[in-house]
Structure 1
């Protein structure tokens, strides 16, 4: 089997071909000549910063030697976190996922790095480097010694969020696999997890599970609100949204399930509940005001929709005015308007003509995805 040239061999070849002495190459790279000499002799390991300086001096693109560096520094040699951590970040930034995967498989033989790898995964996740983060989360989850740990549960939550596909079957498997870990998460973070799993079940129309999770979400919110009652706020919020908003969201989910089951009066009742919850917030912050307005908008649109589905077309003109002010909802709304008209043998040609151009434009641009709407529940 032919041996692969090491980084050291590449450097020495470059220096020979360009007739460069060590001092000259030191000047070009900006690396101390003694340090450079020790690196080439193999008596001193090369840092990521030094590797990047050398690569640039040789006129090569950043990351050219990353695969070789990973093999030489972490597979053929004993890994050191001081070099491994920046390597993972640099590979993530350049999208060198295969290099990360190759190194991580060997590094996790030593489980002492699990905590550090989890920290890097969280950092990458926070920066939106999701593919690299997913590799690390899977690695940590596979190597986690304590199956009831919060860290394992959080890894599984991140994996659940990051590996959603267009396949309903795959998403269903992901939800089923993740659900047992929800109760092991931080109690506030459980609210987000329940909401996210409920949203996934809604997209694949598993309405029984959506309803179960909506009720579970409401119960967890009540616990959190009671627990916080009378206590000083000494810790930063863990949940993505203010706690009370999850109670409103739980009732929005219930309203959606009721509508899907053609229980329109029940859907209206839940709509009143989540609107009342939001209206009951005193001295709201800017974030809370934005949420209140969002829920009020959903309540208004959904109330028109459910009333229409009950056969009351007296509100159609008001609904059309609402849609005119909220064009993102037009296409979805008209699916239900046509459905209601067919059920009640009601002539809606005037309404269709009014929005014909807009509907055709939306179809041509394929802008069919909105925020929380009927049939498309997102947070």
Structure 2
């Protein structure tokens, strides 16, 4: 108890000292900070003093022109006294420590908290707040602490931490993505249904990025089975008037059902199983039969219709039906968001069936160049594969110098994406065509390999 008094006196004496140095009254400090004057008086003068919130401390730091994190090392005693822990003060404090990088303060508090394993729920709440407010990277150490501390591997805290950790590690290198997939996979079926739907979708998407088509199929099949079961259960609850028991998911339920068919279709297409893929594409092209659709659900159904129509055109092209190309191009003009995936499909088909698309490439040259600005992982992947196919197209047409320029662009892009398989493929292609490379192209190749671009 004596330690707590001393520390409180220290944190308050610092505030007192700054009040005097600036010549403020409590009334003036309240005016500048927005903190209630009565609260300020109770914080500084009451016995025992009123606890100060981390938000109030941050506000006073701004008034006194102090750096973020002022007096944070003294703040734990506002939250922890003997056996008592104030969650309403401690959780926001740990969140703020993570946001401004005060790992020293986090370490001190965590050490004290974990003297009692039951306090792991506090660390889980901090992780969830960080994750939900965009601080996925900052949430990782807290989820890891929960996983290391929680003894019950079937508890919600443990399983959700595994799921969130998997989500937080997405978008790094392909190798790290695959490690995240294999680490999380054993826990996917232990999650509650609303988390499991999201988990299976994210697993399938991660494997899509890694081009592991058999794994995409596996997770898409699991997602379809679960989505159908949940859908039937929700219909039953609606019919029996149990609306209060309806499931609340991250995305609309129709998304999980539609994506299961979409991802299955993509995986089969990439394995050149076009007839089987077409069945799945047709399925998600028309989801108007799906009940339980609200305004968001109807918008999602329209998206699936557009994607399905685009992919049916793509399947026909890949099967060699070049006659539908003009119809497909008209569709892309009507739906410009589909130009990048559409042009990727078209150029793959052109390379496979040896037809010319020079006029089309010229028409969309400005659109294709702008795709470099798209930074989400799926767009980056599509961007790389388009220019990789464009390289093949130019080599086939005999435009060697242009092909090598685009090959170097692919090499640079695969390096920035840490896409090692693509990087190796580009290096192999460059050496194959090395005799035709100019000195400038050779210099650029070396600069990319040495990290000078």
Identify the TM-score tier after normalising by the shorter chain.
0.7 to 0.9
Deviations 1:276-334 (A, max 9, x none): 4x132358321111111110010011111110010001110111112222333323332
Question: What SS class does the counterpart of residue 251 from structure 2 fall into?
Answer: coil
Which residue of the other structure, out of 269, 275, 290, is the alignment partner of 2:285?
A: 275
Question: What SS class does the counterpart of residue 63 from structure 1 fall into?
Answer: coil
Partner of 2:101: 96
**1:255 and 1:267 in contact (8 A); partners too:** yes
User: Is 1:355 aligned to residue 364 of structure 2?
Assistant: yes
Which whole-Å CA distance do the structure 2 matches of 1:292 and 1:53 have between them?
Answer: 47
What pairs with 1:135-174 in structure 2 (closer than 5 Å)? 135-174=141-180
Larger helix proportion of the pair:
2
Length, aligned pairs only = 363
What pairs with 1:1-379 in structure 2 (closer than 5 Å)? 7=11, 10-11=14-15, 14=18, 18=21, 24=25, 28=29, 30=37, 33=41, 35-37=43-45, 44=49, 46-48=51-53, 51-52=57-58, 54-56=60-62, 58-70=64-76, 73=78, 80-81=85-86, 82-91=88-97, 94-96=99-101, 98=103, 101-102=106-107, 103-231=109-237, 232-276=242-286, 278-282=287-291, 284-363=293-372, 365=373
For structure 1, which segment, 27-36 or 207-216, has the greater mean C-alpha deviation from structure 2 after superposition? 27-36
Structure 2 unaligned regions, length at least 5: 1-6, 31-36, 385-453
Q: Classify 1:83/1:306 alpha carbon distance in 2 versus 1 (closer, same or farther; 3 Å).
A: same
Structure 1 unaligned regions, length at least 5: none
What is the TM-score normalised by the length of structure 2?
A: 0.70
Q: Classify 1:113/1:153 alpha carbon distance in 2 versus 1 (closer, same or farther; 3 Å).
A: same
Which whole-Å CA distance do the structure 2 matches of 1:203 and 1:283 have between them?
Answer: 31
Which whole-Å CA distance do the structure 2 matches of 1:227 and 1:361 have between them?
Answer: 45
**1:329 and 1:370 in contact (8 A); partners too:** no
Aligned-pair distance for 1:223? 2.2
Q: Classify 1:338/1:144 alpha carbon distance in 2 versus 1 (closer, same or farther; 3 Å).
A: same
Aligned-pair distance for 1:25? 6.1
**1:91 and 1:97 in contact (8 A); partners too:** yes
Q: Classify 1:27/1:282 alpha carbon distance in 2 versus 1 (closer, same or farther; 3 Å).
A: closer
For structure 1, which segment, 82-91 or 298-307, has the greater mean C-alpha deviation from structure 2 after superposition? 82-91
Question: What SS class does the counterpart of residue 234 from structure 1 fall into?
Answer: helix
Q: Classify 1:273/1:75 alpha carbon distance in 2 versus 1 (closer, same or farther; 3 Å).
A: same
Deviations 1:188-208 (A, max 9, x none): 321111111111011111111
**2:252 and 2:297 in contact (8 A); partners too:** yes
Q: Classify 1:372/1:359 alpha carbon distance in 2 versus 1 (closer, same or farther; 3 Å).
A: closer
Q: Classify 1:166/1:89 alpha carbon distance in 2 versus 1 (closer, same or farther; 3 Å).
A: closer
Q: Classify 1:60/1:315 alpha carbon distance in 2 versus 1 (closer, same or farther; 3 Å).
A: same
Which whole-Å CA distance do the structure 2 matches of 1:76 and 1:294 have between them?
Answer: 55
For structure 1, which segment, 186-195 or 126-135, has the greater mean C-alpha deviation from structure 2 after superposition? 126-135
Q: CA RMSD in A?
A: 3.4
Which whole-Å CA distance do the structure 1 matches of 2:205 and 2:42 have between them?
Answer: 59
